[in-house]
Amino acid sequence: MTFDVDHVLAEATTEELAALVCGSGSWHTTGIPRLGVPPVRLADGPHGLRVGEDLDYSEPSTCFPTAVGLGSSWNPALLKRVGEALGREATALGVDVVLGPGLNIKRSPLCGRNFEYLSEDPFVSGTLAAALVYGMQSVGVGGCLKHFAANNQETDRMRVDAVVAERALREIYLAGFQRAVGASQPWMVMCSYNRLNGTLVSQNPWLLTDVLRGDWDYRGVVVSDWGAVYDRIAALIAGLDLEMPQADGREAVVAAAVESGELSREVLELAAERLLSLTHKAVTAVRPTGVIGHHDLAREAALESMVLLRNDGVLPLAPGARVALVGEFARTPRYQGSGSSKVNPVELDRLLDTLASRREVTFAPGFLLSGDLDDDLIDEAVTAAELADVVVACLGLPDAEETEGSDRTHMRIPDNQRALLASLSETGKPVVVVLSNGAAVEVAGWTEETSALIEAWLGGEAGALALAQVLTGEAEPSGRLTETLGVRLEDYPSTLMFPGETGQVQYGEGVFMGYRGFDAMEREVAYPFGFGLGYTTFRYDALKLVETGSVVTRDLRVAASVTLTNTGQRAGAEVVQVYVRNAAASVPRPVRELRGFTKVWLEPGESRTVTVALGIDAFAFWSTPHERFVVESGDYAIEAGSHSRDLPVAGGLRLDVPSLPTPLYDESTIAEWFADTDAMDALQARVLARTGERFELGEEMYAVVAGQPLRRFAQFPGGPLTVADVDAVLAEYGRPV
């Protein structure tokens, strides 16, 4: 069954179009049956499908590692395959659009939804989100980027005003969305609940229209987060096409607004057209047969998600090792987060079973999930440890601490788990800690008590199988951190301002967020951004740079190549990370920024030349006065290595770009005027013609007044310059204010 979009637009009544832009129930759009337009079905995800009318029940579907894990894979090809699998499962469940991925930036480790987000870095987030969407859409199911934008906390999420400077937005909080929109043209983008710089995002024309559609050329549908709309008419005018879920009487409100002239029919038609195009895509998509059940892919994804943070050689566990398996999470796995992304898994592995089939295991729960201290449980675990060769302790965060709707107040693991770990380490037996958590926890106080530490994140339904394979060395842990693990919460650049007060949160750290802030402040960290070990080692040899194109023609490309050698005894993966730094910029810039990466698998002894391509955006920053990304002349360092604080090979690049005068306006300073030779020549010509002298400033005077707005300087009596001169030149050379 199909329909013609233009025909429907021409034939539909205002009421029918109004109904189209308002949802039907919780999970469907409203079709126009009379004209052959069916409803489209939406479902939560994206770590698995949540198909069901209420939060308590959903149809079984594969539960993949949550985004924190998928992000840690640094593997777009894997994300694409997970996307395809999600698409196949969506097809089996009759779903047309999956409401994910979430790619908000992890501004603070406390955000309750960090488990649903990919990284603190927009390059990683955008690249991986694009791959996931690409995978879904390649099998005919739509993806939906969410939550657009600056929804970086759960506290007061439906009202809070995120106050963010445009540069931080463009370089950090919007940049991942921009990358993913450009690379995957998602069928949908979901707007967030919060306000951004004073305006509800659902009603924010700057964000939803000027930036998303104007600057980025987005052509799909913008859907509201569930309940994000306050004023439906303002939202339509701002560019919000579909309101979800159905809100009582909204269609009538929209139709009446068209009738009264408050809303032009063209605006309604534009939104309706986008919905009709999406529906048409859904109806005509060629979809492979739907399948539920991708346990093996979930296992593979979990392997690539796991980050080995520390290992004194105890891992992989020796073949005959007797293992004390301690911790309730070995029996009651913590494998996903709470809230709208919660999946009803098809099957569920437990480490208690998967490890016991590989090694001799004695289990002791060790702690209560409630957080209460129980000395008997600790004593039992210590006894098990004393009789074993090695302890594997499964620690982490309880369910309630990581959920949509609330943030954490600290980043420690529960005290009863700390007490257990202290007692276990007193036995003198090597202790391997496996963490199950979706957001960063403080490890600095106790990582030294461990022989090995694996950050297993929330690994999905097959996480425990992957973990047993990693512990025994059947498989490699190949994840890398996509967020910095700070020593203390107090060290994070956003901490003082998170989660804000009286309805407002200030993003005062600007672009200096995550590793960009830690590095600028030269702050010690527990484990740096990009870090992760494997069971083998790698060597980097000299970096080679090949430059083509130019900044002026906007086609600059830099191919950065390194020779990578696996110097260990086992096959393994390395994530080659490339960072760019621009030491002498005209604005404060981060010490280094990730601009490219690639994950490579090498056999023992194997060497390979690995090339990472950098585009012009790798060198750019957002210039607020120019209202665009610019590249400045200067020396750029390009560094490559295994994480943000281990970059053994580097090269330099000089870029020469004609200088771009700062557009002048009525408050431009004397220094800014002097930098604009055309405007200055025009000003001098005027002054000279009128007074017979030029406007000159001695060196000392210039130092005093260079920072003053020229127009106000002209107000002072006695000089050759007048306000009228300044205004006349501004009229020709200035930018509109």
Provide the binding-site residues for ligand BGC, judged by CB under 6 A: 44, 99, 146-147, 225-226, 340
User: Closest separation between CB of residue 45 and ligand BGC, Å?
Assistant: 8
Q: Mapping DSSP to helix (H, G, I), strand (E, B) and coil, where does residue 546 land?
A: strand
* 8 Å CB contact between 271 and 236: yes
Which residue, among 209, 186, 85, 81, has the nearest Cα to 126 in the 3D structure? 186
Q: Which residue is associated with the tokens 């640094």?
A: 74
- Cα pseudo-dihedral 409, 415, 421, 424, rounded to 10: 180
Minimum CB distance to ligand BGC, residue 100 (Å): 7
Nearest distance in Å: CB 436, ligand BGC:
22
Q: Which residue is nearest to ligand BGC (CB)?
A: 340
Please identify, using beta-carbon distances, which residue of 47 and 334 lies nearer to ligand BGC: 47
Shortest distance, position 148 Cβ to ligand BGC, whole Å: 11
SS3 category, 27 = coil
Number of Cβ within 10 Å of residue 558's Cβ equals 25
- The least CB distance from residue 725 to ligand BGC, in Å, is 55
Per DSSP, 220 falls in state S
Catalytic residue from among 96, 156, 161, 225: 225
Q: Which amino acid is at 640?
A: A
Of the CA atoms within 13 Å of residue 340, those in its CB half-sphere come to 21
Q: Measured from the CB atom, is 103 or 683 closer to ligand BGC?
A: 103
Give burial (CB, 10 Å; 0-12/13-18/19+) of 552: exposed
Is 691 buried (19+), middle (13-18) or exposed (0-12) by CB count in 10 A?
A: middle
The span from the CA of 642 to the CA of 532, in Å, is 8
Task: Locate all alpha helices (DSSP H) within 192-288, ordered by sequence.
Answer: 205, 232-238, 250-260, 265-284
b/e for 457-495, b at 16 or more Cβ within 10 A?
A: bbbbbbbbbbbbbbbbeebbbbbbbbbbbbbebebbbbe
CB of 340 to ligand BGC, least distance (A): 4
CB of 111 to ligand BGC, least distance (A): 13
The upper half-sphere exposure of residue 421, i.e. CA atoms within 13 Å in the direction of its Cβ, equals: 25
> 308 phi and psi, to 5 degrees?
-80, 115
| Omega prior to 46 cis, within 30 of 0 | yes
Is 225 catalytic? The answer is yes
Question: What is the largest distance, in Å, between two alpha-carbon atoms of the chain?
Answer: 99
DSSP states of 567-636: -SSS-EEEEEEEEEEETT-SS---S-EEEEEEEEEE-TT-EEEEEEEE-GGGG-EEETTTTEEE--SEEE
Q: Is the CB of 46 or the CB of 517 nearer to ligand BGC?
A: 46
| Residue 432 Cβ vs ligand BGC, minimum distance, rounded to whole Å | 35
Nearer residue to ligand BGC within complex by CB, 144 or 616: 144
Q: Please, what is the minimum distance in Å from the beta carbon of residue 220 to ligand BGC?
A: 16
Nearer to ligand BGC, 114 or 469 (CB): 114
Question: Among 294, 342, 344, 287, which Cα is nearest to 142's?
Answer: 287
Q: Counting Cβ atoms within 10 Å, is residue 211 exposed (0-12), middle (13-18) or buried (19+)?
A: buried
Q: How far is CA 248 from the centre of its chain?
A: 34
Rounded (5°) CA angle 67-80-333: 35
Nearer to ligand BGC, 161 or 225 (CB): 225
User: Among all residues, which ones are annotated catalytic?
Assistant: 225
